[in-house]
């Protein structure tokens, strides 16, 4: 089975100084070949950085973490769903996920005072990579469309 990792840059839309460590990633759903493909990871890590545009969060599923070094995609959580879609675990590759036509859900939360704030961020980039180090990025237009839809929902 091939390994799949993800790295995303997430830009908060609100000040989050007091909530620096309260993040949650609960997977996503992409439209690929007219099918809704869910995915999640065994673990992840978020680091906060600052650049000329302000603070941003780098979310990674690969790299030296407190409790892990590498967290692959969690195939078991959606095994039955993949089977129902005519897919096997081996079909869910970095290249496959990066071939998405649309981001339907990217479930990243910034928790604030015990309430989930689902629209407190915009995605800046999402890339998937495999065990060989090959990286596949989602197109900027797709990410911009997802961000625009987020704004419409709230």
- Tens of pLDDT along the chain (154 residues) come to 578 888 999 888 766 654 455 677 778 999 999 999 999 887 777 778 888 988 888 888 875 455 556 667 788 888 899 999 999 988 999 999 999 999 999 887 766 554 445 567 789 999 999 888 899 999 999 999 999 987 776 5
Which positions ≥6 away from 38 have C-beta within 8 Å? 27, 28, 29, 78, 81
Q: Name residue, tokens 């237009």.
A: 141
Please state the pTM of the whole predicted model: 0.84
94 with 128: CB under 8 angstroms?
yes
Of 17, 31, 9, give the one whose Cα is nearest residue 108: 9
């Amino acid at each position: 089975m091939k390994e799949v990792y993800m790295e995303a840059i997430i830009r908060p839309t609100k000040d989050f100084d007091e909530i620096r460590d309260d993040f949650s990633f609960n997977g996503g759903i992409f439209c690929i070949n007219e099918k809704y493909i869910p995915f999640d990871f065994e673990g992840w890590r978020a680091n906060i950085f600052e650049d000329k545009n302000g603070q941003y969060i780098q979310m990674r599923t690969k790299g030296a973490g407190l409790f892990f070094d590498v967290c692959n995609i969690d195939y078991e959580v959606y095994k039955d769903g993949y089977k129902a879609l005519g897919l096997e675990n081996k079909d869910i590759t970095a290249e496959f996920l990066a071939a998405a036509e649309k981001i339907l859900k990217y479930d990243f939360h910034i928790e604030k005072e015990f309430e989930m704030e689902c629209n407190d961020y915009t995605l800046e980039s999402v890339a998937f990579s495999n065990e060989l180090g090959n990286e596949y990025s989602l197109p900027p237009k797709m990410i911009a469309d997802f961000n625009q839809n987020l704004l419409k929902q709230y």
